[in-house]
């Protein structure tokens, strides 16, 4: 599997690493409340910290959490960004992280358990799972290593991954809310790709209809007697 580190991916990797260092320094060594301000905490969002739906994805719980997400970003993000361009890539990525955060928030509010409403959610996994879905759609025949050991097609990999997350969401109780966020990132990725394909198809159909209609509208210049040697009437399209 080729690794392509684009300029956008490089900047994201640096930003995530720097934010993690600042987060740990502020919360563990300076007695600050970085996570309280920027992680996704349902009760804090209800109190007005709406930005947490966006900022939570830049925070991570520990080094391993950070490294795993950055590995996914480095392995699959570069090729997707190189194909789509920076603007579309970032729109897709943050659409997935934001939708994952929204679904998590809605589920927490629906359950309304005071014990968990104050627990912070952090991590870019929603965006990473969205990128994996996009990779599986675009490069479906590529081989990926499931559990770093078993080679399989990208489309098979993402189906197994979705199944594992679904089972975890169903049978892990409150701990399965993170799996719901992962599944929401995957669903957001599929929704984004579907809307894009739908928009392209509608533009094609609209363009075809326009051309078809235009083909029936012709302005004909009637020949004058002195133009009798011309090949025929002149038509503007």
Residue with the larger pLDDT of the pair 130 and 4: 130
55, 38 in Cβ contact below 8 A?
A: yes
For the segment 60-72, what is each residue's pLDDT rounded down to a tens digit? 999 999 999 999 9
**CB under 8 Å to 198, separation ≥6 — which residues?**
none
> How far lies 237's CA from each of 57, 61, 214, 218, in Å?
53, 63, 7, 6
3-state SS, residue 229? coil
pTM for the model stands at 0.81
pLDDT of residue 111: 86
> How far lies 141's CA from each of 100, 105, 144, 188, 204, in Å?
27, 35, 9, 22, 27
pLDDT of residue 207: 57
pLDDT of residue 213: 47
Dihedrals φ, ψ of 25, to 5°? -65, -45
Report how far residue 57's alpha carbon sits from residue 39's, in angstroms, rounded to the nearest whole number. 8
CATH topology of domain 7-200: Rhomboid-like fold (1.20.1540)
User: Domain residues of the chain, as ranges?
Assistant: 7-200
Does 229 score more than 70 pLDDT? no
Band (pLDDT 50/70/90 cuts) for residue 232 is very low
Does 152 score more than 90 pLDDT? no
Dihedrals φ, ψ of 14, to 5°? -65, -45
Give all strands (DSSP E) within 57-201, no chain letters.
Answer: 143-146, 150-153
**CB under 8 Å to 37, separation ≥6 — which residues?**
49, 52
Burial class (CB in 10 A: 0-12, 13-18, 19+), 221: exposed
Tell me what the mean pLDDT of segment 82-103 comes to.
95
pLDDT of residue 204: 82
Give all strands (DSSP E) within the chain, no chain letters.
Answer: 143-146, 150-153, 219-221, 234-236
Does 94 score more than 90 pLDDT? yes
Q: Which of 13, 144, 156, 20 is nearest to 77 (CA)?
A: 13
pLDDT of residue 7: 93
């Amino acid at each position: 599997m080729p690794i392509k580190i684009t300029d956008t991916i490089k900047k994201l990797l640096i930003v995530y690493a720097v934010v993690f260092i600042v987060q740990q320094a502020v919360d563990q060594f300076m007695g600050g409340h970085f996570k309280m301000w920027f992680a996704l905490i349902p009760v804090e969002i209800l109190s007005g910290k709406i930005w947490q739906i966006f900022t939570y994805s830049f925070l991570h719980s520990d080094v391993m959490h950070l490294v795993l997400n950055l590995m996914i970003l480095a392995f699959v993000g570069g090729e997707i960004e190189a194909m789509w361009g920076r603007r579309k890539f970032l729109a897709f990525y943050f659409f997935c992280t934001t939708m994952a955060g929204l679904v998590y928030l809605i589920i927490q509010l629906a359950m309304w358990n005071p014990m968990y409403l104050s627990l912070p959610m952090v991590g870019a996994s929603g965006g990473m799972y969205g990128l994996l879905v996009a990779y599986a759609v675009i490069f479906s025949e590529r081989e990926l290593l499931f559990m770093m050991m078993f080679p399989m097609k990208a489309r098979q990999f993402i189906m197994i991954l979705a199944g594992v997350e679904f089972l975890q969401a169903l049978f892990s109780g409150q701990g399965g809310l993170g799996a719901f966020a992962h599944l929401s990132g995957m669903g957001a990725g599929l929704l984004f790709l579907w809307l894009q394909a739908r928009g392209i198809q509608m533009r094609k159909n609209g363009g075809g209809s326009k051309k078809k209609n235009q083909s029936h509208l012709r302005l004909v210049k009637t020949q004058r007697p002195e133009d009798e040697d011309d090949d025929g009437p002149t038509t503007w399209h």
